Amino acid sequence: MAEYAYPGAELELFAAAVRWKRYLRAQISPFLRGDVLEVGAGIGGTTDVLLTDTAQTWTCLEPDAELHTQLARALPGYAAREGVAARAVHGIVGALPAVAAFDCLLYVDVLEHIEEDRAELAGAAARTRAGGTIVVLSPAHQSLYSPFDEHVGHCRRYDRQRLVEIAPPATPVERVRYLDAAGLLASLANRWLLRASLPTARQIETWDKLLVPCSRVLDPLLAYRAGKSVLAVYRKR
């Protein structure tokens, strides 16, 4: 595998967004079972919240060598807390054996970094057991593509239609919904007013403490039809 270096500098900032991660966990907890593969786990900020004792094993995959080193240091503590067998692997999905070894594959703010997203999901499906799931969370709405997206290496943002279109063969979308309606307002402000390449710690704190709780109320009221993020769950037949 060619050496990969993650271009962004926001992982530690977003690691503090625990309310958002807990909201995501509430949305996807039914799928976090059996053998889980978390793709692009970074420094483990999301793993810390999502890793659950409903999983039997949890594998974190990270292509950046420096981030993998940090992840490998943090993961044993998360795993011991939940009583789950966990490991950190340096690499990408395409380098793993093409064997259906996992019950759930997670792409949390990862797929938008991958140019060949359709091929990536096909590779993920090849490693998913029958009845298993691929869970994708990505930033929503290409019209909101901002200097921040460019700064952290996003190839695109997603809408519901695109996530349905790139479903792997025999692995159709079971659920697709927008999340964080309140946060959508903040994204609009950044896109058209602030045009910042990186949010500040204060902005992340304000979003996480004030807007995310509002979204947990608004999203179901709006039938998950508006939000700054989009969640898709694919189920392998």
Residues 115 and 144 sit within 8 Å (Cβ to Cβ): no
Average pLDDT over residues 71-99: 97
pLDDT exceeding 90 applies to what percent of the chain? 83
Q: What is the pLDDT of residues 193-220, one digit of tens each?
A: 555 667 888 888 999 999 999 999 999 9
Any residues with CB less than 8 A from the CB of 213 and at least 6 apart, and which? 19
pLDDT of res. 10: 80
Q: What is the pLDDT of residues 42-68, one digit of tens each?
A: 999 999 999 999 999 999 999 999 999
Q: How many domains does the chain have?
A: 1
Residue 118 CB coordination number (10 Å): 13
pLDDT of res. 193: 52
The answer on pLDDT for 1 being more than 60 is: no
The reported pTM is 0.95
pLDDT of res. 87: 98
* 142 located within any domain: yes
* 2 located within any domain: no
The answer on pLDDT for 231 being more than 80 is: yes
* 107 located within any domain: yes
Query: What amino acid occupies position 232?
Result: A
Range(s) of the domain holding residue 191: 11-235
Residues 190 and 148 sit within 8 Å (Cβ to Cβ): yes
Any residues with CB less than 8 A from the CB of 171 and at least 6 apart, and which? 121, 125, 128, 134, 234, 235, 236, 237
Residue 131 CB coordination number (10 Å): 10
* 4 located within any domain: no
pLDDT of res. 199: 80
Question: Per mean pLDDT, which range of 70-74, 151-155, 229-233 is the poorest?
Answer: 151-155
pLDDT of res. 69: 97
* 89 located within any domain: yes
* 3 located within any domain: no
CATH code for the domain of 189: 3.40.50.150
Q: How would residue 192 be classed by pLDDT, with cut points 50, 70 and 90?
A: low
Averaged confidence pLDDT in the chain? 94
pLDDT of res. 215: 97
DSSP three-state, residue 40: coil
* 178 located within any domain: yes
Q: What is the pLDDT of residues 139-161, one digit of tens each?
A: 999 999 988 889 899 999 999 99
pLDDT exceeding 70 applies to what percent of the chain? 95
* 1 located within any domain: no
DSSP three-state, residue 103: strand
Among 62, 57, 31, 27, smallest CA distance to 44 is for 62
